[in-house]
């Protein structure tokens, strides 16, 4: 409530000596200037808007006054006015508003306290149950994620093996010309942290190895085609590739003749290692 008007009023200055006790007084009226609407009146942080001038707080002689009837209306205090009668002066009784539980029957108070404790215990149990369920839910999610990861890994390993079978049947990928002679190539594919390729060339002689060392362009081309075909599978496109070429078959002691690799899709690197 913002007050900004000025009014004159004759008021009686008095002081309430003690709250909770009856006050009997006699006062001599003193004319003072009363200033209304010059400040905001708040109760428990809430601004009060009072239109009745008889209820408005005001300032007089640099002091702030709040009508006791206003405090009563706002539920701040209990007020009782007893007019003068039979030669007795008027009396004003003021006392603080009692709390709702003040004077409550002890049995009822004990009952409500027991109910509050029971509700608190029930809440604690529910919170414990929620925590247990939350932990179980997290555990199940972790197990599910682990299962999916394991399942995905197994699927990719199986896909790599299936791809090797396709390569072994592809006449453009399972043969290479070296020094005018044609040789079969067989493949084993492995998928782990990278895509690993083992390529076995059967039937190479020492002369063939010499020719391969001098001119490896046909082998380089075949291995580049191998990487290109692997990259067509979306599961392996962005995976590092490592290719080792052996002289011999996969079921005997074979000699490495070439080594290739691809990183970050930047094309094949490497060559003959003889």
pLDDT at 232 over 60: yes
Rg value, the chain, Cα? 49
**217-231 and 106-169 helices cross at what angle (nearest 10)?**
150
Question: Which pLDDT score is estimated for 94?
Answer: 83
Overall average pLDDT of the 252-267 stretch: 86
Q: Which helix (H) or strand (E) holds 55?
A: none
Q: How confident is the model at residue 270 (pLDDT cuts 50, 70, 90)?
A: very high
Contacts of the segment 12-17: beta carbons below 8 A, 24+ positions apart: 13/60, 13/61, 16/68, 16/92, 16/94
pTM, two decimal places: 0.44
CA 74 from centroid of its chain's CA atoms: 45
Proportion of the chain above pLDDT 70, given as a percent:
82
Q: Which fold has domain 154-272?
A: GMP Synthetase; Chain A, domain 3 (3.30.300)
Q: Which of 31, 73, 80 is nearest to 52 (CA)?
A: 73
List the domain boundaries for the chain: 28-96, 103-149, 154-272
Max mean pLDDT among 146-150, 165-169, 228-232 falls in 228-232
Q: Six-digit token pair at 54?
A: 């008889």
Q: What is the tens place of the pLDDT at every residue in 41-58?
A: 888 888 888 888 888 999
Averaged pLDDT of the chain = 80
């Amino acid at each position: 409530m913002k007050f900004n008007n000025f009014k004159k009023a004759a008021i009686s200055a008095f002081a309430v000596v003690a709250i909770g006790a009856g006050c009997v007084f006699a006062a001599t009226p003193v004319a003072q200037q009363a200033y209304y609407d010059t400040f905001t009146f708040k109760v428990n942080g809430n601004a009060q808007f009072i239109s009745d001038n008889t209820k408005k707080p005001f300032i007089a002689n640099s002091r702030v006054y709040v009508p006791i009837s206003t405090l009563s209306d706002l539920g701040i205090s209990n007020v009782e006015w007893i007019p003068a009668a039979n030669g007795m002066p008027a009396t004003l009784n003021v006392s603080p508003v009692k709390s709702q539980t003040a004077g409550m029957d002890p049995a009822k108070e004990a009952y409500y306290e027991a109910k509050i404790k029971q509700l608190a215990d029930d809440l604690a149990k529910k919170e414990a149950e929620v925590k247990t369920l939350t932990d179980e839910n997290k555990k199940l999610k972790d197990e599910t994620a682990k299962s999916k990861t394991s399942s995905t890994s197994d699927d990719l390993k199986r896909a790599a093996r299936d791809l090797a079978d396709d390569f072994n049947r592809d006449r453009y990928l399972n043969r290479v010309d070296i020094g005018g002679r044609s040789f079969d190539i067989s493949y084993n594919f492995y998928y782990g942290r990278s895509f690993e390729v083992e390529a076995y060339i059967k039937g190479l002689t020492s002369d063939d190895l010499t020719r391969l060392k001098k001119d490896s362009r046909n082998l380089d081309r075949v291995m580049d085609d191998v990487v290109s075909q692997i990259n067509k599978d979306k599961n392996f496109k962005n995976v590092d590739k490592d290719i080792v070429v052996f002289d011999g078959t996969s079921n005997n002691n074979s000699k490495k003749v070439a080594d290739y690799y691809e990183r970050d899709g930047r094309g094949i690197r490497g060559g003959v290692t003889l």
